[in-house]
Amino acid sequence: MLKHPTAITLSFLFATLFGTALAAAGTGGVRDSGDFFSEAAIKEATRTISEIETQFKKDLVVETFPDIPEETKRGVDLSDKRDVNRMFEQWTVKEAKQSRVNGIYILISKEPAHLQIVVGNDTQNKAFTLKDRENLANLMLSKLRAKKNDEALLECVQYVSTTMAGHLQPSKRANNVASPSVVSSRALQTEHATPWGWIITAVLGIGAVWLIVGVLRSFMGRGATGGQGMMPSAGGGGMFNSLLGGMFGAAAGMWLYDQFSGSHGNAWGGDHDNRSSDSTGFSGQDTDYSGTGGDFGDDYSGGDWGGGDGGGGDF
């Protein structure tokens, strides 16, 4: 039995730290394996993507690759433009499904230089239509062809945010589009809330160390009492209390993260199956995807759009 009262408290703090880490998980974002964008652009785009997920309950993923994976291009005639376009569509749909994207997935390849955008079947019903998808592809391709990669990324995320806000019902739009005074108030709150993040991190770090010390002391105490240290007491304490403390700590950790981050959203991030249709955003889950795309390399000659409206790789 963990006799020292600090042992249970420390297990609570440790579980709180674990719960906070889980709460920070997410789905959308920028994955720049192809080294297209600057760190500053990625940071700004990630912030906007997080706002899109919070406000509209839809994902936006931008992923870049240096080239085509060997298993993806196996059996593809790279000299046949139609075959290559079909490959890009199927590859992008596959990536979107594997990431369980509930929204928009954008794939950018460096060699060959190609952009492919797929939108989920639920998302394209209202949140981001097929016309919006074509407009986004045109916008990004024009910037990529001009070698303005950071602008392509930043204008992409801003276009998605603005477009989804415009598709909201008036009552929902009023809840999502804040007035300048509200924006200033939120910015001020964020500025003042920043020190709390460091304080909580420090407390949790100390708590984790304290937990380890408490556990070691418990085991040493058990050895001194003839191996009875882990036996439950008559009051039902010991490991049962520690377990309850850990479970409560995990829940409290997610609550603390939610309160101090100011998001007040879904603490589990990527579990889109449990999204509820609240007073803002779009409800519904994508089960298939369709897309469009095009080349943007130095040898681009125009008219080589790929993909089309085939869903799930069927053409």
Residue 151 identity (one-letter amino acid): E
In angstroms, rounded to a whole number, what is the distance separating the alpha carbons of residues 278 and 297? 43
pLDDT for the residue 187: 42
Mind listing the pLDDT tens digit for each residue in 31-49? 999 999 999 999 999 999 9
Mind listing the pLDDT tens digit for each residue in 202-258? 666 776 666 676 666 665 665 555 544 444 444 445 554 554 455 555 555 555 555
pLDDT for the residue 128: 98
Read off the pLDDT band of 72 (50, 70, 90): very high
**φ and ψ at 159, to 5 degrees?**
-65, -45
- HEC letters along 12-43: HHHHHHHHHHHHCCCCCEEEECCCCCCHHHHH
For 151-156, which contacts have Cβ atoms below 8 Å and span 24 or more sequence positions?
153/30, 153/36, 153/37, 153/41, 153/42, 153/45, 153/62, 154/41, 154/44, 154/45, 156/45, 156/62, 156/106
Compare 190 and 99 and report the one with higher pLDDT.
Answer: 99
In angstroms, rounded to a whole number, what is the distance separating the alpha carbons of residues 65 and 106? 11
Q: How many CB atoms lie within 10 A of CB 276?
A: 8
Read off the pLDDT band of 28 (50, 70, 90): confident
Rounded to an integer, the average pLDDT of 67-73 is 96
Share the mean pLDDT of the chain: 74
Read off the pLDDT band of 27 (50, 70, 90): confident
Please give the helix or strand (H or E) that residue 223 lies within, else none.
helix 180-224
pLDDT for the residue 250: 53
The fold adopted by the segment(s) 33-168+281-313 is Diaminopimelate Epimerase; Chain A, domain 1 (3.10.310)
Mind listing the pLDDT tens digit for each residue in 121-165? 999 999 999 999 999 999 999 999 999 999 999 999 999 999 999
Mind listing the pLDDT tens digit for each residue in 265-277? 333 333 444 444 3
Read off the pLDDT band of 25 (50, 70, 90): very low
In angstroms, rounded to a whole number, what is the distance separating the alpha carbons of residues 290 and 104? 10
Q: How is the chain split into domains, by residue range?
A: 5-21+180-268, 33-168+281-313
Rounded to an integer, the average pLDDT of 295-306 is 65
Read off the pLDDT band of 20 (50, 70, 90): very low
Answer positive or negative: Cα dihedral of 61, 65, 68, 69: negative
pLDDT for the residue 234: 44
Mind listing the pLDDT tens digit for each residue in 174-195? 565 544 444 444 444 444 444 5
